Amino acid sequence: MKITKIINNLGFIFLLVGCQSTYTYPPQQKETLTNPPNEDTNIEKFLVFDKVSVRIFNKIPSLYKMKGEEVSYWSDKWLEVFLYENGSYYYDTAGYFEIEGKPRKIEITSNKKIYYEESLQKWNISSSDTEDIDLTVKVNNKQKVLTSKVVELPFKKKATQGDLIETLGFPDRKRTYHVSWPCSKKLNGIWYSPGPSAVGKIDHWFYDEYPRLVIDVSFGEVREIHTMPYGERLTNRAPRGC
């Protein structure tokens, strides 16, 4: 399916990609990384060429959803794709790597609906079922499939803290934050922007049974969840003065 650019009424540009469609990987910056392992893992795979290889890192191998809710996830950290050559890693240039002296395009297909918002450099994957999400990365006629497992949680949105304790037990960790107007802050992947009269106390619960899951239980009920990508750390505290 052809990628289509659409500008919405806010001026944002979207790349709309349907099922089994092609997505052009966004340009990135270069960074220092560790050497690759010898073989593919469940979160890391390699396309090997004559003198170079392409490293693909799935930073969200599991994606959580609440019972009865659809999967809809925004991230700028879902996949990372690098070129590995002579002991160094390189990001792409405008969605291309130089392989065997020629520009080779990075293409991503999925069994789910995906689109990339250029203005925010984030992409979204949405699904109405619990089928796992397959992302196929293709470079120079070679490809690898990385799977993000969809995990449906045993509770619904607006479940009380008591309901959560009866279902999952007491949380293994808890963190409390305070964000007050006029501050806006992202805490463990969830954005908060309280109004002038809103109470700014935020409560997050964590369970070892569900790695990288953040549950917002502010005001005594489940308000939101977030799946943290690999490499994303918990927020220590809200900014001073908020």
Highest-confidence range of 26-40, 91-105, 208-222, by mean pLDDT? 208-222
Please check the confidence at residue 96 and state whether its pLDDT lies above 90: yes
Q: What is the pLDDT of residues 140-193, one digit of tens each?
A: 999 999 999 999 999 999 999 999 999 999 999 999 998 888 888 889 999 998
Backbone angles phi, psi at 164, to 5 degrees: -65, -40
pTM: 0.78
The domains of the chain are located at 4-152, 161-227
Return mean pLDDT, the chain.
81
Per cent of the chain over pLDDT 70 is 81
Banded model confidence at residue 66, pLDDT cuts 50, 70, 90: very high
Question: Mean pLDDT lowest for which of 16-25, 94-103, 128-137, 155-164?
Answer: 16-25
Per-residue pLDDT, 39: 62
CB atoms within 10 A of CB 151: 14
| Inter-residue long-range contacts of 12-18, CB under 8 Å, 24+ positions, other chains counted | 12/117, 12/118, 12/119, 12/120, 13/117, 13/118, 13/119, 14/115, 14/116, 14/117, 14/118, 15/115, 15/116, 15/117, 15/118, 16/115, 17/110, 17/113, 17/114, 17/115, 17/116, 18/113
